[in-house]
Structure 1
């Protein structure tokens, strides 16, 4: 009989539910920002729109990374978010 207790998981303090919830919120906010930027730059050059969406994407990346760290999730974090439906532009 083995009397040695198993090592506790190094990931036992992770809050995946909170990260998933916050991640969904961040992604939804990003999608709304993209729609607003698309409307704002509709009659301007595509490169201007792309540049602004790229900046928003970088901000989103930083916010998701910050949320992952706050929730003590340091590996596999990008696989936790369910796919977000993409709105087709009309």
Structure 2
């Protein structure tokens, strides 16, 4: 029961990070009309969004296969990396 709660909380936090990334995409892309931002910023944003979407999806897949420890690690990887980046000022 507690593992399901931690897993669900991790999925909610991942969804919040995805919403945040989409909300700041206009600043990265230089406006709503396209990817006119700096190439490294656009690539960094795209890879961050991809990892934030794929990591919980793979975590759910591992959960269904019975690898609950690996699933929790995969779901909580993006939020922990986000907090580490904020603490380091990146």
TM-score, with normalisation over the residues of structure 2? 0.43
Relative contact order higher in (CA < 8 Å, ≥ 6 apart)? 1
Which structure is larger by alpha-carbon Rg, 1 or 2?
A: 1
